[in-house]
Amino acid sequence: MKTTVDHLLALGDDALIAAQRLGEWVAAAPELEEDVALANIALDQLGAARLLLTYAGELEGAGRDEDALAYLRDDREFRNCLLVELPNGDFAVTMAKLLFLAAYQLTLYTALSGCADERLAAIASKARKEVAYHLDHARLWTVRLGDGTAESHRRMQAAVDEIWPYTHELFLPDPTAPVDPAGLRAEFLAIVEPVLAEATLERPADDWAPEGGRRGLHTEHLSYLLAEMQVLHRAHPGARW
């Protein structure tokens, strides 16, 4: 299958919006070391987003570079999954989001690193190493909070319950993609279910499955996020930074 611009935008936008949310934690994390760790993860995601959006811009052939794609599209043109644009909530919500995102990215990037598109394969194998670390970090905290105190357990369970429905969108069929995400959910579950079990958390039932992000139909959170992210670029169009 040929790589499409939309597919690259979906991957790039996931990473970009996740990086933006993680960046909001800087100087607000529970500990100095965690501040550094979250900033590190955000930087990794941003790095992947830059590579993917640059490639998307070149493939599109309309002269849009990574900055034009990040700063001059509105929410209806963004292809990220809903999960990454949800607010950070408390530390448990942030860790639940990171756990599910990293588990998804790890399975997807691993599959993509063997795909026929050499450039996408190279980006995926670079990003794969990074998200393995992100997954590890989220796993440790999920277990710590879930199997910590009564209060941290309660919050971690609430976070997992809140975020779980948004994991379904990650595996919607996309027959035109180099790797169809529909086939990856089993692998995703094989990663996250043991983590939830070790953290003494209930795996939520699969019922409500909100989606729309891949088609540019987002939650009410994204346009606020973009307003903040894009404000300077829109105030001074064409400026060099």
Chain contacts with another protein (rule: CB under 8 A): 31-33, 36-37, 40, 133, 136-137, 140, 143-144, 147-150, 153, 200
Q: How many CA atoms lie within 13 A of 13 on its CB side?
A: 32
Specify whether the CB–CB gap between 181 and 172 falls below 8 A.
Answer: yes
CB of 55 to another protein, least distance (A): 24
CB of 140 to another protein, least distance (A): 6
**With respect to another protein, which residue has the nearer C-beta, 30 or 87?**
30
Other Cβ atoms less than 10 A from the Cβ of 105: the count is 27
**With respect to another protein, which residue has the nearer C-beta, 150 or 239?**
150
**With respect to another protein, which residue has the nearer C-beta, 140 or 172?**
140
User: Which residues, in sequence order, are CB contacts of 31 under 8 Å at separation 6+?
Assistant: none
CB of 40 to another protein, least distance (A): 5
CB of 129 to another protein, least distance (A): 9
User: Which residues, in sequence order, are CB contacts of 170 under 8 Å at separation 6+?
Assistant: 81, 83, 100, 104, 181, 185, 188
Across 110-141, b (16+ Cβ under 10 Å) vs e yields bbbbeeebeebbebbeebbebbeebbebbbeb
**With respect to another protein, which residue has the nearer C-beta, 62 or 150?**
150
Greatest extent of the chain over all pairs of C-alpha atoms, in Å? 54
CB of 136 to another protein, least distance (A): 8
**With respect to another protein, which residue has the nearer C-beta, 153 or 203?**
153
